[in-house]
A and B are shown apart, each in its own frame.
Chain A
């Protein structure tokens, strides 16, 4: 394959961030090529809780504005539903909930208190142990697997291309610009490059001389058999995030994450550990009336975090045609907006609808090189692990 098989914009990473960016760019008439080492949306983007309620983000307003339109704009279903309910089983949980709605309220969004009776009407699976809840008149949830495929198909419908099973292994920089992406399936030329490769974004950024500090981690979720639909599916609490799907399954996650290391571009095994049982226990506390519901599956996904847990979205000064994007483990709900921001950075050099300056890499200048050790964001020490089970 020659460099001529490239595109105006090449995007490394076919998760929600890269696909949304590619979709926005393709809609705008640019020639887009997404390189994905596996299947589109196969990593965190197809394995998350589907939450779309992020009042702490500069993209919050755009997230809230876009989601109700996404099905129509994409032409494929995302299973988006608006509003959320938060449930508290104790005072500590109440005060946490309150802090998050206050932040949304300051940005003009409404919410209301639900006493136990009101809560039970909307969420019949709760028990007497619930103190009450909050009904947020904002936020929402969608089906990640359907959404990610919707982005991919919509991108193609606008003339964009996706190459699956294609791993980017190198980036050629010439004259202050990224000119070619080297992959295991040939070399692709580009005029602009977006690196939105999830946990691997740091390694790829290093290839263009940027230092993007990231720590990868593995997280788990469980899902039950379908139950009758509650009036409000977007209900969570008790240290769990998740939703009742439109099919009726309870899909929830939370609790201990596992810090891991990357070995090259391959995504480490997305195994589930016995810790997934704690999710079942917490969910039984949250929804005592669902104690009989059978857990039929679990899964794990790999996400990445920056040292402050906030995204990095930045068009580099050098090479000047490269945009880096990691959502630091909270990127599904924000994807309609993050993709748009990235597209605007590619097209205009700046984001037109939000201030992305706080998401710049500059904030990590002076970060000590052993920041992961200092934070304890590293795997359990080798000598304690493994043993005879390790292959």
Chain B
């Protein structure tokens, strides 16, 4: 349709029930918001504050214990103790663990702990009613909007989830969840822990456990050699940690909770060696196979993302300063891409944070100190999905296809690749049986969102955190395409599962209440279509101004 001339009488003159007439309810404004108080975010916020920019630094930790129970934002595996129920105490603990938080506080940074960013929004071709960029923030009591001029997303990474029989039992968790409970919350509730994955992340967990007086039952690795630094391996071996090389976890065993793991040996071709079952006693199994950048806010904002295996999968396209394709948004730290080197040396993330701060400061008319020389160059990141897929293949080799992928919606690997309708529909029949991922792939590029709609995998309360990448890899296997060919499953707000009562605004402004309609405000839409409308009846110059009244029985 032709472009529209400016409308007299303001944006809401014509259709007050449209978004153009709805006030935004912005509660506060910040020139710069930094999301995430890890090394990258803290460094960004400190650099910006030193440059004189009023900076808000938001971090969701300590997370509400109810969210932890849902495995948000990490796979906590119900391994937190009762201490996490006291938010005040947790805030103190977290502040104590990281001295840079008090530094931030002293630097005048507006530090918001225990506050999550549930959504991020900028105007665009189909959201021109949104007049300024805003974030949706939420704590345990309410949600609200904060507008910003510049945003630095330093939201970190989460664990790659990997299923095996019994992984839905309490006691199976991710490395990030374990690390947070051990080191930040001091609220870890396990006594003996088994680690899957022998990279730096897995070995760090082992050290963190040992340092907290928790036994390490072993480190399981599908490959023939330990993946992480030799020095770490040697030290763990010295402290008596067994390494189960060329092994995979067949099953988590136990009653209500994990009591042990059954391991199976793999031969040189990655096949399970029959009769090689070994049972290892443990109450916690930690998956530490890979890290996935937290790009959900960047995806919501429409930042261009690209698949780069060496950086952990889908990551934002950034310029040298970390500016994304959406000019007011920067990314730094693990959410801009993770690799082992970055994990062991947090100077890289700090440098990225400072760089982003310099870019944002310049935009805001200030000058931030030049960031230190990035340490990133010293590391040569390699692709990771080959290794991740090898783990998945090993788990399939030892556990088969009838293992849950999506815990929330109870979807198994087999149900996923056979595109089975969810069990509660009790749908059989030959027509459905003839449909599967392979056939779908023949009809066009596979799309995880489409498969999600059909199988429900990834549709649950953990918002796909535990199964996204597994589903992506299973689609690649079943569809016989590279992982990179499976597009990112979309993220939608709220990116943290918020109770209805918190997700909504405290009040509904008059402009919205008075003009609220269930569906468009077109009265003739709801009157019998066999009766003529004013438009049709009044030739040659129909008066359509009367179409704007309140809808009668808007019915769907």
Where the two chains meet, the residues of A that have a C-beta atom closer than 8 Å to any C-beta of B are 39, 42, 46, 49, 51, 53-58, 75-77, 79, 96-101, 103, 145-146, 149, 153-154, 157, 162, 164-165, 202, 214-215, 217-218, 222, 224-226, 236, 239-241, 246-247, 254-263, 268-284, 287, 290-300, 302, 305, 307-311, 328-330, 333, 355, 358-359, 362-368, 371-391
Contacts and interface: CB of A to CB of B under 8 A. Distances in A.
Contacts of B454: 145-146, 149
B536 A363 contact: yes
- Which secondary structure dominates where chain B touches chain A? loop
B522 interface: yes
B554 interface: yes
B130 A273 contact: yes
Contacts of A222: 503
B34 to A, nearest CB: 17
A383 B128 CA distance: 10
Contacts of A145: 453-454
A226 B424 CA distance: 13
Contacts of B388: none
B520 A329 contact: yes
Interface in B362-402: none
B11 A165 contact: no
B302 A378 contact: no
B424 A295 contact: no
A262 B553 CA distance: 30
A271 B544 contact: no
A372 B431 CA distance: 46
Interface stretch (B37-45, B84-92, B159-167, B443-451): B443-451
A297 B123 contact: no
B422 interface: yes
12 contacts: A53-B555, A57-B529, A96-B553, A145-B453, A149-B454, A164-B443, A218-B127, A260-B126, A270-B126, A280-B498, A308-B533, A372-B1
Nearest to A359: B529
A366 B15 contact: no
Interface of B: 1, 3-7, 11-22, 24-25, 70, 119, 121-134, 136, 143, 145, 149, 300, 302, 325-328, 409, 421-422, 424-425, 427, 429, 431-432, 435, 443-445, 447, 450, 453-454, 456, 459-461, 463, 492-494, 497-501, 503-505, 508, 512, 515-520, 522, 524-536, 539-542, 544-545, 547-548, 551-556
A75 B421 CA distance: 12
Contacts of B425: 77, 79, 246
A380 B129 contact: yes
A158 B406 CA distance: 33
Contacts, number: 373
B438 to A, nearest CB: 15
A256 B500 contact: no
A333 B519 CA distance: 15
Contacts of A375: 14-15, 544-545, 547-548
Nearest to A46: B453
A261 B454 CA distance: 31
B87 to A, nearest CB: 18
B19 to A, nearest CB: 4
Contact of B500 (A290, A297, A378, A387): A290
A309 B540 contact: no
Contacts of A146: 421, 453-454
B516 to A, nearest CB: 5
Contacts of A276: 493
Contact of B542 (A280, A297, A368): A368
A378 B4 contact: yes
Contact of A311 (B124, B459, B529, B541): B529
A98 B526 CA distance: 13
B461 A225 contact: yes
Given A355-B530, A390-B122, 8 more contacts: A225-B497, A241-B518, A255-B517, A269-B126, A282-B516, A368-B541, A375-B547, A379-B20
Nearest to A161: B443
